[in-house]
Amino acid sequence: MSPLSYRDAGVDIDKKNRTLAGIGARVARTWGPGVLGEVGAFGGMFSGRFAGLEDPVLVATNDGVGTKVRVAARAGRLGGLGHDIVNHCVNDVLVQGATPLFFLDYFASSVLEPARFAEVIEGMAEACEAVGAALLGGETAEMPGVYAPGELDLVGFLVGVVERRRVWPQGVAVGDALIGLRASGLHTNGYSLVNRLLDGDPGALGRDPGGLGETLADALLRPHRAYLEPVLALREQVPIHALAHVTGGGLQDNLPRVLPPGVGAEVDRRAWRPNPVFEWLVAQSGIDAAEAYHVFNMGCGLVIALPPAHLERALGVLAGRGEEAWPIGRLVKGQGVRFCDDL
């Protein structure tokens, strides 16, 4: 019996090292003065000094892209996944008022393909630069037998910082007005249903199924957007009581996460129209409105709660920054989310 090498088992350590060395310069371009150390260390180091903050609070989060990776692989377009995972994590710490400091990734696949890996990392680096986060490090795993050939998984970890007195939510009260901000698309939720639909029509990604004005791939793979810039601008103009990032579970699961006991929400879904891709999904799958609004964000990716006296001012500020935003309801006595429409 001939000797069996690790490469024969499906893992090429030398290829992995060459691939990682090739991205070092791109990763380093995301670094600011807070980063200590070099690419390739066992752990990423970041300074614990935060200029201008009296009582800094670190906020940490992690998430994955989920089955959106299968849609991206079908289309041969992986770069957007890097934006997806960074921006999802950015929004999650933003909900507590934090701005991003650094990001780490976990990339796993059956076999490491350097070009695909570099495409994802380039997307991450672009997204990190856009929000001022350092791509501090990560882990790359090659696991044949765990992942089927061609499959991959992508997970991100992000740490942000906020002054303790500015942590959200705070001051949430019955009567607060709710503003919804436009989502760029599905963001990173609901793709298991999408993949089931694509299984029955593999060529669908390359064409406009009607009413989208773009290919289905363009609509489905539009990256999860970051709300950092408009929210930080708005915070300087009006008091904000809470933010809710609308991810898996939709409005009815995510909005109550930032509400105190005894406070619920009344939401009018007629205040906005879902992106065309959601209309396609509902039509193709046949799910009813109640399930659709529980699975998807349906075009509303972030909710802002603020005093009603500042509603018009807030809408004006957001419109001035090119945001599509709408008054979608108010906070009421009770619990959970009640839809005051009949879709």
Question: Residue 153 above 60 pLDDT?
Answer: yes
C-alpha distances in Å from residue 80, one per residue of 76, 101, 120, 261: 11, 21, 7, 38
174: confidence class by pLDDT, cuts 50, 70, 90: very high
Q: Which CATH number fits the domain that encloses residue 63?
A: 3.30.1330.10
Residue 316 and residue 239 share a domain: yes
Contact 280, 150 (CB under 8 A): no
Residue 181 and residue 249 share a domain: yes
Comparing 35-39, 105-109, 184-188, which segment has the lowest mean pLDDT? 35-39
- What average pLDDT does this structure show over 130-157? 94
Question: 300: closest CA among 243, 343, 341?
Answer: 243
Residue range 32-73, pLDDT digits in tens: 999 998 777 788 999 999 999 999 999 999 999 999 999 999
Residue 232 and residue 155 share a domain: no
Residue type, 213: G
Position 202 scores a pLDDT of 75
What distance in Å separates the CA atoms of residue 294 and residue 312, rounded to the nearest whole number? 29
Residue range 75-106, pLDDT digits in tens: 999 999 999 999 999 999 999 999 999 999 99
325 forms beta bridges with 181
Residue 192 and residue 93 share a domain: no
The CB density around residue 276, as the number of other CB atoms within 10 Å, is 18
**Alpha helices, DSSP H only, in the chain?**
13-28, 68-75, 79-94, 114-131, 191-199, 216-221, 228-235, 250-254, 276-285, 289-295, 311-320
The CB density around residue 253, as the number of other CB atoms within 10 Å, is 15
Q: Which CATH number fits the domain that encloses residue 229?
A: 3.90.650.10
Question: 343: closest CA among 280, 279, 259?
Answer: 279
Burial class (CB in 10 A: 0-12, 13-18, 19+), 145: exposed
Residue 197 and residue 85 share a domain: no
Residue 148 lies in a domain: yes
What distance in Å separates the CA atoms of residue 341 and residue 39, rounded to the nearest whole number? 53
Residue 190 and residue 309 share a domain: yes
Residue 8 lies in a domain: no
Residue 258's domain comprises 177-339
Residue 181 and residue 131 share a domain: no
- What average pLDDT does this structure show over 219-242? 98
Residue 211 and residue 154 share a domain: no
Contact 247, 187 (CB under 8 A): yes
Residue 236 and residue 87 share a domain: no
What distance in Å separates the CA atoms of residue 150 and residue 77, rounded to the nearest whole number? 13
Hey, is 85 helix, strand or coil?
helix
Question: Residue 14 above 90 pLDDT?
Answer: no
Question: 304: closest CA among 251, 225, 248?
Answer: 251
Position 25 scores a pLDDT of 85
Position 309 scores a pLDDT of 98
Residue 197 and residue 226 share a domain: yes
Q: What are phi and psi of 143, to 5 degrees?
A: -135, 75
Total domain count, the chain: 2
Residue 201 lies in a domain: yes
- pTM, entire model: 0.93
Residue type, 218: D
Residue 114 and residue 242 share a domain: no
Residue 187 and residue 153 share a domain: no
Position 9 scores a pLDDT of 59
Residue 3 lies in a domain: no
